[in-house]
């Protein structure tokens, strides 16, 4: 298990919650990273608000943030 801040829907910061989730496995084109630091950038805030809904379709709950620093634990087969 790991901790993640998840979006439960679109809106302001109140749609975010801390949750215990299963650790993911790397798909064929993925990396699994032990995250040491992360950030939320302006695009993440627009996604959370729903401003990008017509471009980026999400399955909820969703974990925002692609800006990370850490150690690669697993590399996908491709």
In this predicted structure, the answer to whether residue 16 has a pLDDT above a threshold of 90 is yes
pLDDT in tens, 20-40: 999 999 999 999 999 999 998
pLDDT band at 65 (very low <50, low <70, confident <90, very high): confident
- How many CA atoms, within 13 angstroms, populate the side-chain half-sphere of residue 13? 1
């Amino acid at each position: 298990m790991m901790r993640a801040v998840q979006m439960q829907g679109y809106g302001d910061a109140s749609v975010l919650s801390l949750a215990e989730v299963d650790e993911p496995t790397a798909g064929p084109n993925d990396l699994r990273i032990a995250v040491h630091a992360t950030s939320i950038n302006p695009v993440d805030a627009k996604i959370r608000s729903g401003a990008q809904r017509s471009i980026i379709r999400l399955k909820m709950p969703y974990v925002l943030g692609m800006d990370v620093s850490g150690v690669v634990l697993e590399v996908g087969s491709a």
